Structures are given as structure tokens and as C-alpha cells.
Amino acid sequence: MKTISDYIEKRLKLVVNRDKSQVALSGNVKFLGVTIIHGTIAISKLAMNKAMAHVKALTPRGTHLTLEKTLEEINRWYRGWSSYFGMTQYPAQLSRIEAHIRRRLRSRLIDQQKSQRNLYRKLVKRGATYRMASEVYSNNKRWALSNAMAVTRAYSNHFFINILGQYIRSDKRRPHWFEINRWIKLP
């Protein structure tokens, strides 16, 4: 580190920020939101956590915005964010963000129904069986219910992608991407 810094500062006349500079294994270095693990490029854990937090900020609990307007804002942000991270090789990471967006929106749809009876009727009307829809009569809150079988069937991925227009990047086939089911454990 010392010899490289001396060379950069004396020979190239550049300033080295010692707080940001480091010499480490590639798996331990996060650079511009990506990390290199086993010779592959992945979105860093910090960038993924920030994206999840941003999705949460874009889908607040009580809001005056309609579901369509909220999804427009999310699509605007996600289109840019996923374009930036399109250089990575794991589309499963993008798929995880997309699934989180859908779950946040399902949670909001559950909250819009003021009673369990209304939610039950809505789920049955949208194609859930009576038995599956009866899950809403549990003591689970809206976040737990957003992953229930009846809710995921009533408000399926097809509903969000094809009807509401959720933007999906993970289904685009890029030559440098691995299969969608290939996952990497981030340090």
C-alpha cells in the first residue's frame, strides 16, 4: 500500500485518500456498489440493503397515492437502479428486489381492506379458494399475510407485471448473466 501510494502521489501527482484506499482480497472490497466473489461480479450486500430500504421508503404504509402511481415511482427508480447494476452476473439479485416490491405492494393492498371479512371476500373474488382465504382470520399482521398463499394467488406476479405494469429486469437474458436460479452468498 505504501509503495503504490508513494508512486501515485510522487510520480503521477495525484492525491490518495487513505481512508478509502485499501489493499485486500477482491471479495472484501466493495467498489461502486459491486463486489467480486470467486471471479464473478455481484451487487454488494450494502447496495442490496440500501435498495430494500429505498423500496420501503417508496411504499409507505399510509399514503394518498394510488397503487398505480406508487408503481410508476418504483418503476422509475428501479429502471435506473437495475440498469446501473446490469453489469453484475447474478439476475437472482435483481429478482429478489422485484419480489420485495411485490410483497410490499401486497401488504399495502391488505391494509386497504378495513376488515378481515372484506379481505376474505376480496381474495375469494380474485381466485383464492375459501379454505386458503380463511387464513386472513388469523392474528397475523399485514406483513405476514402478504406472503400467505391466498394473497399470493389473488395478487399474483402476473397481476403486478402484466396488469399493473411492474418493470422487470431479471427476465431479460444478457450474455454475461448466469441462470436465474444461481445465487451467491455475500460476505
Q: Judge residue 114's burial from the number of C-beta atoms within 10 Å of its C-beta, 0-12 exposed, 13-18 middle, 19 or more buried.
A: exposed
CA distance 150 to 134: 8
Q: Output the pLDDT for position 184.
A: 80
SS3 assignment, position 117 = helix
Reported confidence tier of residue 155, pLDDT bands at 50, 70, 90: very high
Give the rounded distance of the alpha carbon of 87 from its chain centre.
Answer: 16
Please determine, for residue 137, whether its predicted confidence score (pLDDT) is greater than 80: yes
Q: Output the pLDDT for position 28.
A: 73
Average pLDDT over residues 75-100: 94
pTM: 0.85
Residue-wise pLDDT for 87-98, tens only, equals 899 999 999 999
